Structure 1
Amino acid sequence: MQTVELNAGIEHAAILLLSMGEEAAANVLKQLDREQVRQLTMAMASLPALKNDEVSQVYGRFFNDFKSESGISGASRAYLERTLNKALGRSLSQPLLNSIYGDTLKQNLQSLQWLEPAKIAELISSEHPQMQAVFLAYLDPEIASEVLMRLPEDSMDDLLYRVANLSEIHPSMMEEVQVLINRFLDQPTHQNSTPIDGTDQATAIINRLQPAQSMKVLKGLKEHDPELVERLESKMYNFSILEQQSEETLERLIQDIDQDTLAIALKGASPELMDKVFATMPKRAAQYLREAIEGKGRVRISAVEEARKEMVALLRQLSESGDVELQLFSEPVME
């Protein structure tokens, strides 16, 4: 089979492979390069149920004596796994399957975001907390935070603990996830585990909660796992959030921070942050700060990081005392 022919009729090729059985299909796949195998496998996994006349049209291109047979459905994960293991070996087939089914899982779950958060919360409210955590992990943080707020308040810390500790999702749970999705979506498929950074998602969700709720959740999480809270807070309160602060907040921070510490912290900072900082200062003071930064010359990275931590710690202190309004994520504003 030529590459051009395969690309032009990838779906037809997938139908043929599905109908010829695992052994024969594996022998065909052995003759193809990696990209062709990837395309064919994705096509085999996503084929809908086919009618006899559709299958007959495909076979008519290859065999004049083809006789119609029962319709062919998309390949199950088990079929593809056995076939690819024979063609490529397990070490090569598993990453390919993870990619295909992991991407499908993400697409199916993200399609739920067209539903009202209240509907999603209703969908998962009676499920095991680990299942609820999987849904929260794959939803957009905006939607996930709204769903979380519609679940029992006393379960928030436990759910976010589970989200933050997700590293992969077991195939057995994938089937259960799909059953729930199928209640709202007509997209049946089988899934495989897929990697996910739960701490990033948990941080994004917490940042979008009301301040009192986020503090309560962090307190609850700290009882479960103090080290986890440290990781979450290091992502919530990092130097990059200074770019999201208002001019009033930055102005107060710059007034209170030691100027030598400020000059060190701004070493290597982004042009956007530098511009925002200078914009809060009188021209003469801004010029002095520029000269102080340049006058520092080469500074150890550890010293810069320490100065930045001190600056962020002061920002948190000012926020907790109510002196400034802390913005933890980029939010649209109206003039």
Structure 2
Amino acid sequence: MGLPVKLTQAQKAAAILVAMGKPSAGRLLKFFKQEELKALVEAARRLRTIPQAELEKVVQEFESEFTEGAGLLDSADSMDRILTDSLTPEEVSVLMGRSEPPPASMEEVWGEIEKLDADRLAQVLAREHPQTVAVILAHMSPQAASKVVLVLGKAQRGEVMRRMASMGQVPPAARTVIEKRIAEILRTEANGKDTSAGQARVASVLNEMDKEQIDEVIGDLEEAGSEDVAAIRGRLFTFEEVVHLPQKARVALLDGLATDLVTLALRNAPKDLAEAVLSALGARSRRMIEAELAMPADGIPAEEIIRARRRIAATAVELSQQGLFALPSAQKAA
């Protein structure tokens, strides 16, 4: 997609630097202030493809030389390469607002994770898959691991300990993935940044959408390079996914919900979904709801049925965050 004819000064400067190539641009970058470099990087990330004619206009405006036919594609990637080749990793990290690199050795990574407060570490691990938590705890010292286990949610604790008990030798590739995740946790903690609140906000917005819409937005997040996609997926749940919950989880979800809410949510529901819900209810509640569903549903707005289903889905998300059960999306993301 082409860019608008009108470019900002920062975008024009970024276009010129990328067109010049790394050697020349690298020499020029040394003379920019940090604020100016940030503005250039942000401008480059907003650029996509600049038509040849547009690029020539920019070049003429700056009265610079330009090699004919170069064009300009993927400005953000090109700017990244220029910065990487021209500046030290530390300078790039500061420029981009990134956190400090993780500890140099994996021994330091495991040592640093044990220094975290047990309550805080348990809170962070509550968002991870039980297998990930099991591997982390298995590689911590027994003293540090025991403190974390005691403050894990009851449901998560049992699942994690079960996996630890049956765990064999962790493959090197899996250990590398776990260690990378630990390094990310440490960077987050070092920055005092807890992304769970933001992930929850995004998930709550997505949970108000249809599945097709959710998939579309998740795809946009992935294309944007979001590091929170897996965590957000783990918080997603729709009423239709009740069929994928274990019976025990369905009972926990429906326990305490008003029968009229459940009845409304089951209006026009597929037979397998209705049976999954009804099978988790007591005999008396089931008979009442089935009697209501046997009556005509004329006059009930579709919007009310959707709202009822979303209320039940939101309840499932809340219960999962309390550790009562895992959502199907969290299990798939692991």
The TM-score bracket by the shorter chain reads 0.3 to 0.5
Instruction: State the TM-score, normalizing by the size of structure 1.
Output: 0.34
**Greater RCO between the two (CA within 8 Å, min separation 6)?**
2
Instruction: State the TM-score, normalizing by the size of structure 2.
Output: 0.34
